[in-house]
Each structure stands twice: as structure tokens, then as C-alpha cells.
């Protein structure tokens, strides 16, 4: 097994989030990108009860909560500050300052009348926000805003720069900006199409670089490969597609892999795969991994090869129900996962003492410190309580 795969296999739970009064599904996770002395990293979690919770990354305790926004979709930190964004079916993209206790958004990006936003992303230089809508009448739109906060601009509500309306024919479920090129963005829809745009080009038609067809309904999209010139997607019926845009102008096909139903072809020594959650591109090793799971809470990690998906490892003893979100941290190779069991878990690589017993109800044990230890023979010890 390669080193990175060994690392995945050695992931163990380091922390579980403390119990909260209102159990909800944890639908999205993102971590702060800024590094501030004396201040720990933050985790923002999208909860199914219409709130965004901010946690301390190492302790997984809730620092603050932005409540009362039914219809939120997606959660993302800015790249250069600790603002956190989410799109909403009420036709806005909201921005909060994750370091402030105030529950009100510090900025609102308003869409066009009757826009219902179900996806969004912010460009890597924090300049542009793009949000995707549900199909309303005959249109599914990608709406764009200037995200820069102008100190002279006192207004906290921003209107769009414009929108794309011609390239999707159904709900736009995913928007993903290129990790390092702020001008490229990819969108995915229940119409099965994955569209790649260069937003520096004036009109929509010419901005459309290519359209890939998953022939199903897109649930997740991402960028991968050296220089991030590949795109991949997952579908609602657990399919997986992988395209290489390096071949757009060559004679070679751009399709690297097209699996209609991963559940049917994945070879696992034991157990089954119920669903796919998303993808994870590991820069250092130039490898793409697919994350999936079971309805009992087991997480499966698979690696992508041109001949198919290969099962790498399973993460057990963590969740007790469907896993809905994850966030991989490239700096310390740690993994955060969130599920329908209302738990947020922090996993880190390294040999650890025997894992905690699996939680099979909503009750979460009082916080136990679990330190990562090498070559320990003890079953878990109770550390000082938080």
C-alpha cells in the first residue's frame, strides 16, 4: 500500500463534537483558511435545521451559531479572512463573520426575483461568488457577484454582476471554482451536465469551455490532477465520472472513467457501499480519492485509477448513521466528518489506542480526550474533562 493509503487506513478518531440540544443532520463542513497566532482554526458546519455552527477545530466545541435560516445550502470560508458564506433558497447568499458573536449576516448577496439558490462557491482570490438556482419556469441560472468588501461601500446588500441562463436545463446542484485559477468555474446539474466556464470571457456562450455529460443527475463536482486540469463528478444514483481537460484540444478522449453505479462494481473484501459522499484530491501524491459510506455510518475511501475505483480502507466506530459531509485538511492530513447522527468527528493519522465503542444512539458520551499515541497498549483512557 502506498504511504497516503496507509495514512488513510491509520486514521483514527481524535475528537467527537460535544452533544447539542437540537440534533440535526450535519450537511456541510469547511475549515478556516487563515492562520492566526493565538487563535485556533475554525470549523463551520451547515446544519439541517437551517443554521451554521462554528466550532473550534481541535476541541470541537461550539463557539457560536448563526440560527434561523431554513433553506441554507453549502458552507464555505473565504480564503483570506474568516468570513463564512452559505447560499439560501430565499434568494440570497449570506456572509457572516465567524469570529463575531453577532448572529446577523455581515453581508447579503441578493439574486434576481424568484431565484432559489441551492449551490454556490467563492473564487480562490475571494473576488467572485457564483450561485446556482433551482429550475424556475424554464430557467436554471448561475448568478455572479463581486465579493470584494469595499470599505467605502457601506451597503451590506449587493446586487448581481450578471447571470448565465443558457447552459443548464434543470436544478444546478453544484458550483465549484478552480482551486488556483480564479477565472475558471465548473457547474453541475440534475440535467446531468457538467459545464466548465472561463468567466473572463464577455458572453456566456463564449465563456463555456466545455460541457461533459454524466447522463444522470449530478450531486458532487471537483477539480483534480496536476495543475487541476481534470474534473470529476458524482451522481445521485451513485455514479462516478472523471474527465481530463488536457485532452480538449488533442485527439484523445477526455473521458477517463465513467461508472454508472459504483455500488455495483466496487470490490470490497467485506461489507457494502450504500452511497458516495464526495471526492478528495491529494495534491502531494497526485491521487484522487472517492469517499462513500453505508447507512450505518461506516466510511469507505476508494482510490481512482483509469481502470476503475479501488477500495483503500474503511473508517468504523465513528458515525452511527448516514455520513453526509467531510472536509480534508491538506496541512495536517486530518479529516473532519459529519453525519445524520448529529456528530462531527475529527480523524487524524497515526497509531492510536483501541478505538472508542461505536455510538448507536443519539446520546454522545461526555467529552473524552483522546490523544493520538504511538504504540500504546492501553484501551482508551479518560483524560481531563473539558
Positions 265 through 284 that interact with another protein (CB under 8 A): 274-275
Determine if 73 is a binding residue for another protein (CB under 8 A): no
Determine if 195 is a binding residue for another protein (CB under 8 A): yes
Q: How many Cα atoms within 13 Å fall on the side-chain side of residue 227?
A: 4
Can you say how many angstroms the Cα of residue 25 is from the centroid of all Cα atoms in its chain?
15
Distance CA 252, CA 306 (A): 14
Determine if 204 is a binding residue for another protein (CB under 8 A): yes
DSSP state of 161: S
Determine if 117 is a binding residue for another protein (CB under 8 A): no
Nearer to another protein by Cβ, of 54 and 241: the residue is 241
Determine if 167 is a binding residue for another protein (CB under 8 A): yes
Instruction: Name the one range near another protein by CB under 8 A: 86-94, 225-233, 234-242, 363-371.
Output: 234-242
User: Site for another protein (CB under 8 A): which residue of 74, 188, 225, 239?
Assistant: 239
Distance CA 149, CA 156 (A): 9
User: Site for another protein (CB under 8 A): which residue of 18, 79, 210, 296?
Assistant: 210
DSSP state of 358: P
Distance CA 322, CA 287 (A): 25
User: Site for another protein (CB under 8 A): which residue of 61, 156, 180, 255?
Assistant: 255
Binding mask 294-333 for another protein (x = CB under 8 A): -x--------------------------x-x---------
Q: Which three cell numbers stand for residue 243?
A: 474527465
Distance CA 46, CA 25 (A): 8
Determine if 208 is a binding residue for another protein (CB under 8 A): yes
- What's the start-to-end Cα distance of the chain, in Å? 38
Q: Tell me how many residues contact another protein (CB under 8 A).
A: 44
Determine if 25 is a binding residue for another protein (CB under 8 A): yes
Q: Per DSSP, which regions of 80-140 are E strands?
A: 83-88, 92-97, 107-110, 117-122, 128-133
Residue whose C-alpha is closest to residue 294's, from 264, 269, 324, 267 = 324
Binding site for another protein (CB under 8 A): 25, 27, 48, 166-170, 173, 190-193, 195, 204-205, 208-211, 213, 215-217, 219, 235-239, 247-248, 251, 253-255, 258, 263, 274-275, 295, 322, 324, 340
Amino acid at each position: 500500500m502506498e504511504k497516503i493509503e496507509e495514512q488513510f487506513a491509520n486514521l483514527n478518531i481524535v475528537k467527537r463534537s460535544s452533544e447539542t440540544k437540537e440534533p440535526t443532520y450535519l450537511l456541510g463542513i469547511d475549515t478556516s483558511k487563515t492562520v492566526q497566532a493565538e487563535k485556533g482554526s475554525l470549523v463551520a458546519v451547515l446544519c439541517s435545521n437551517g443554521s451554521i455552527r462554528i466550532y473550534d477545530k481541535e476541541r470541537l466545541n461550539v463557539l457560536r451559531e448563526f440560527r434561523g435560516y431554513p433553506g441554507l445550502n453549502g458552507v464555505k470560508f473565504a480564503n483570506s479572512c474568516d468570513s463564512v458564506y452559505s447560499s439560501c433558497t430565499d434568494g440570497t447568499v449570506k456572509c457572516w463573520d465567524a469570529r463575531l458573536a453577532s448572529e446577523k449576516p455581515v453581508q447579503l448577496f441578493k439574486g434576481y426575483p424568484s431565484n432559489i439558490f441551492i449551490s454556490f462557491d467563492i473564487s480562490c482570490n475571494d473576488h467572485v461568488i457564483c450561485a446556482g438556482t433551482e429550475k424556475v419556469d424554464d430557467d436554471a441560472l448561475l448568478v455572479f457577484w463581486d465579493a470584494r468588501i469595499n470599505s467605502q461601500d457601506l451597503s451590506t446588500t449587493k446586487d448581481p454582476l450578471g447571470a448565465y441562463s443558457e447552459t443548464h436545463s434543470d436544478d444546478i446542484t453544484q458550483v465549484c471554482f478552480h482551486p488556483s485559477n480564479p477565472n475558471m468555474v465548473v457547474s453541475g446539474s440534475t440535467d446531468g451536465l457538467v459545464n466548465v466556464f472561463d468567466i473572463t470571457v464577455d458572453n456566456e456562450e463564449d465563456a463555456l469551455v466545455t460541457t461533459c455529460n454524466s447522463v444522470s443527475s449530478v450531486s458532487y463536482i471537483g477539480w483534480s490532477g496536476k495543475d487541476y486540469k481534470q474534473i470529476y463528478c458524482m451522481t445521485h444514483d451513485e455514479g462516478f465520472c472523471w474527465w481530463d481537460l488536457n485532452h480538449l484540444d488533442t485527439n484523445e478522449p477526455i473521458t477517463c472513467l465513467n461508472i454508472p453505479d459504483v455500488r455495483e462494481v466496487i470490490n470490497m473484501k467485506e461489507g457494502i457501499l450504500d452511497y458516495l459522499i464526495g471526492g478528495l484530491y491529494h495534491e502531494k501524491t497526485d491521487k484522487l480519492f472517492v469517499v462513500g459510506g453505508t447507512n450505518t455510518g461506516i466510511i469507505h475511501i476508494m482510490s481512482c485509477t483509469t481502470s476503475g475505483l479501488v477500495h483503500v480502507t474503511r473508517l468504523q466506530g465513528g458515525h452511527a448513521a448516514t455520513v453526509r459531509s467531510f472536509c480534508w485538511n491538506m496541512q495536517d492530513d486530518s479529516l473532519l466528518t459529519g453525519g445524520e447522527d448529529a456528530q462531527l468527528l475529527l480523524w487524524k493519522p497515526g497509531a492510536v489506542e483501541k478505538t472508542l465503542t461505536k455510538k448507536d444512539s443519539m446520546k454522545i458520551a461526555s467529552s473524552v480526550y483522546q490523544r493520538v499515541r504511538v504504540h500504546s497498549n492501553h484501551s482508551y483512557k479518560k483524560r481531563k474533562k473539558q
